[in-house]
Amino acid sequence: MNKAELRKYILSLRAGLREEERREKSAAIGERLFALEEFRAAATVLFFVGFGSEVQTLAMIGEALLQGKRIAVPKVGSDKKDLELRELKDPRAQLRPGTMGILEPDETCPLVPLEEIDLIIVPAVAWDEKDYRLGYGGGFYDRLLARAGSISRVGIGFDCQVVAEVPHAQHDVGVEVLITESRLLRFGSER
């Protein structure tokens, strides 16, 4: 399948998950994430805010705040090309619908420089077992990850999002760990 076909196929599978299923699977992913050494060691974590049929991250963000983590979440920048990273202290008060209806931090949330992030939680439409990801096509995370250097990267998604192979280019930046509701995949550094 090409990227567009794979995106459509995986999004339809993910949309087929019932709300209760999505909540249970998201909770299982959160448990695996919180047990991860990279997460426990991180002082500042960049989460994405789950949207639509994505892994639900708001409960994870709340738990991470209770654990004393500094949390950043992305906001599409005014250039509509890059993500601004903003500190989130109160999700209920500081998140507003933004680009494509996705909840984003409001202007009261201060900017967080990328170099202050210890761990990036990475979304995708699809993953493969070689650590390649297929995003939504906007390139926001591709550009962010290309600048992330040695910052730890953990992908999260449902089992139904993992496929044999994702179309990729040599310059694509992967993740070190992929967490689903039933497994944790740790990747080498062969790229």
Contact 74, 104 (CB under 8 A): yes
Q: At residue 22, does pLDDT exceed 90?
A: yes
**Residues in Cβ contact with 185 at an 8 Å cutoff, skipping those fewer than 6 apart:** 129, 131, 177, 178, 179
pTM of the model: 0.94
The CATH class that applies to domain 3-186 reads: alpha beta
**Distance, CA of 160 to CA of 166 (rounded, Å):** 13
Q: How confident is the model at residue 169 (pLDDT cuts 50, 70, 90)?
A: confident
Widest pairwise Cα distance in the chain: 43
Q: Beta strand pairing status for 126-128 and 162-163?
A: parallel
pLDDT averaged over the chain?
Answer: 93
Q: At residue 191, does pLDDT exceed 60?
A: no
Contact 29, 53 (CB under 8 A): no
Look at residue 134 in the predicted model and tell me its pLDDT. Answer: 92
Cα dihedral: 29, 176, 43, 59 (round 10):
-20
Give the tens place of pLDDT for each residue, 54-96.
Answer: 999 999 999 999 999 999 999 998 888 889 999 999 999 999 9
Q: Give the tokens for residue 136.
A: 């939504």
Look at residue 44 in the predicted model and tell me its pLDDT. Answer: 98
Q: Where are the domains of the chain?
A: 3-186
Among 25-34, 102-111, 130-139, the least confident range:
130-139
